[in-house]
Chains A and B, each alone.
Chain A
Amino acid sequence: MRNLTYAQAINEATDQLMAKDPNVFIIGEGVPDPKVIFGTTAGLLAKYGKGRVFDMPLSENGMTGICIGAALRGMRPILVHQRIDFSLLSFDQIANVAAKWHYMFGGQQSVPMVIRMLIGRGWGQGAQHSQSLQAIYGHIPGLKVVMPSLPSDAKGMFISAVLDNNPVIFIEHRWLHNLKGNVGREFYKTPLFKAKILKKGKDVTLVTTSYMTIEGIRAAEILQREGIYLDLIDGRSIKPVDFNTIITSVKKTGKLIVADTGYASFGYASEVISGVSKEAFNYLKSAPVAITLPDIPTSTSMKETEKYYPTYIDIIEKAMAIAGKNKMQIKKVVSGEKAKRTLSWDIPDKSFTGPF
């Protein structure tokens, strides 16, 4: 057993990829600076030099196009955005060029490029540093979009992403970077298109993405005590959605909750619920439930974000309801858990002291 943090896992994956293939390079605002993108690019500059580890002018759009051009001539760029919010500046190049190149030229060339995008949360980061925009990228044909939750998947999926000959959007969460987990030392690939079953249960299917997977794991443990067993599925792959795994589970439980990190409308949760309703309607025993952010930008005020982010307690509440528990039972468990919560809601763990 060797534990690495999620950030270290990405770092190790990057290192191993760059060692194997001289065409892989990494670029982004702050990539080689002393803060090394929250540890994820540590050691790369020293090992691979200024010719492969680049800082970047504040030109997200142009630089994305430049990386696409480089990819078309045999390089394998990794572009990093410290916040997914900034990637919107380059949406033209991603959606209109990278995603479409292979198709609109009849399959003659593709764009082997990975764009890392980080989701921010907490400590008053606010509306422009806290978005979770996987749905926007998921909507565009020609992109692969992944959001690993666990360190082992962060490494394996990042390796698969860079080895993939198509543009892959790799979305990380700041609150996952310090999460520790078992990570294999070897150079291994995890598929980009498959969800992962984390817990098996017969009562309720819970599909989660990114940080909500951690909330889901917490909820599952507590729900077990109440005799409710979750079939916990880490979505992992945003586009394509792994409907095979999800529907197999729904056929067993008949009950579906999707907990996603994005806004409510037009999101991953809506997409999963829509697909399941279309393909497995007769297996549903009750209406599917979505747990998401509200359709409201993120406030920076600590008080105003108290009820903004759903937690394991919200998952517990919805799971108990869908499993048929009565209001009294639900209230008892929920208030019990709320009373136990000492961690401030705007930090991921006690060690975090700001700013981002």
Chain B
Amino acid sequence: MTKSKDLINLYFQMLRIRRVEEAIASRYKEQEMRCPTHLYIGQEAVAAGVCHNLKQTDLVVSNHRSHGHYLAKGGDLKKMIAEIYGKVTGCSRGRGGSQHLLDLSVNFCGAIPIVGETIALGTGMAWAEKMKNKKSVTAAFFGDAAVEEGVFAESLNFASLKNLPVLYVCENNLYSILTPMGDRQPEREIYKYAASFAVKSFKGDGNNVTEVDRLSKKAVDFIRQGAGPVFLEFMTYRQREHCGPDFEPVGFRPIEEVEFWMNKDPLKVQERFLSAKKLINDDIKEKMKSEIETEISDAFRFAKESLYPGANFNMEQIFAKS
């Protein structure tokens, strides 16, 4: 049973991610965040629930929609916002933007946008950690379309063969941009496909952070016991457009479907749950919001005040010294 303080903290983590993403969305029209941003709004329960069960020494890799994973793993907010602003103080020195985040100080080991690549990277990181007897868990986050890439099969095959400490987390939000599942995959559940690689696989409600937390804990415990990789499929929904600050135009996705998932907003779900348990009230929520707003405005101020990297590039930046 998840402790009360953990339940509250899970809500706080989700609220923080939500407020950051909304802040990015509202300021996007200022045209100072000049890179594609893929907002995590609606999927917060997955990042918060999974990362709640990871230690500092555990690793996370992600894809283009990584803000939630970055923040939930403890990534520096100021550096993330500065990165989106293209500033030299950004987590990738302004060279990567929203789609290429890295914070090695908390073992957020890289997010890159070509779908599927980080599934292999995470698998390889877990392999190295195992070779070095590190006893860590590596979590790789990706979406439903990523399992269509061959690299997914190749990665799970190897992880299963070598009994690697990887947690594969598939956020099934039903769409690849605007292409629905029915146009991309046959009718079979993703977690069952993953299971065909002899990988322990489970499926859960990705908008219920308590359930995500419970399944993640079970998965991480398995992995820490040396039982090999685990695959988690979480059903969730992207509330806004694939890339950008706005909501999808009405009708781009079935209206009933959108309504259904908006009603299952992970924050609302957890608020109802916490209220029923008398663990939250308006006062507590206001305190949380206030703390979060201060942190966010500090981050945006930091980003705006930071300098850009210089305009002159040099060839020496391509290679590391040996």
A interface residues with partner B (beta carbon < 8 Å): 25, 51, 57, 59, 61-75, 92-93, 96-97, 101-110, 112, 141-142, 144, 163-166
Measured between beta carbons, the chain B residues less than 8 angstroms from A144 are 319
The residue on A at minimum CB distance from B320 is A110
Kindly identify which residue among B104, B131, B154, B320 contacts A107, using a CB–CB cutoff of 8 Å: B320
Kindly identify which residue among B93, B117, B126, B158 contacts A59, using a CB–CB cutoff of 8 Å: B158
Contact B322 A66 (CB under 8 A): no
The residue on B at minimum CB distance from A61 is B151
Measured between beta carbons, the chain A residues less than 8 angstroms from B129 are 73
The contact string, 1 if C-beta is below 8 Å from chain A, for chain B 100-131, is 10101000011010100101111111111101
Measured between beta carbons, the chain B residues less than 8 angstroms from A67 are 124
Given contacts A57-B157, A72-B125, contact A65 B120 (CB under 8 A): yes
A62-B153, A93-B117 given. 12 additional CB < 8 A pairs? A51-B131, A57-B158, A61-B151, A62-B158, A65-B119, A67-B124, A69-B125, A72-B124, A101-B110, A105-B93, A108-B102, A112-B320
Given contacts A97-B112, A97-B121, contact A106 B132 (CB under 8 A): no
Contact A163 B322 (CB under 8 A): yes
Contact B93 A62 (CB under 8 A): no
- CB-CB contacts below 8 Å: B135-193 with A: 150-151, 153-155, 157-158, 161
Given contacts A144-B319, A166-B320, contact A57 B151 (CB under 8 A): no
Contact B110 A72 (CB under 8 A): yes
Residue among B90, B114, B155, B161 with the highest chain A CB neighbour number at 10 A: B155
Measured between beta carbons, the chain A residues less than 8 angstroms from B321 are 165
Measured between beta carbons, the chain B residues less than 8 angstroms from A110 are 319-320
A25-B132 Cα distance, complex, nearest whole Å? 13
By Cβ-Cβ distance, the 9 closest A-B pairs, closest first, are A69-B124, A62-B154, A106-B93, A65-B120, A110-B320, A59-B154, A66-B124, A73-B128, A69-B121
Kindly identify which residue among A59, A106, A166 contacts B319, using a CB–CB cutoff of 8 Å: A166
A141-B123 Cα distance, complex, nearest whole Å? 25
A344 to chain B, nearest CB (A): 40
A69-B164 Cα distance, complex, nearest whole Å? 13
Contact B154 A57 (CB under 8 A): yes
Measured between beta carbons, the chain B residues less than 8 angstroms from A101 are 110
Measured between beta carbons, the chain A residues less than 8 angstroms from B132 are 73-74
Kindly identify which residue among B95, B114, B317 contacts A92, using a CB–CB cutoff of 8 Å: B114
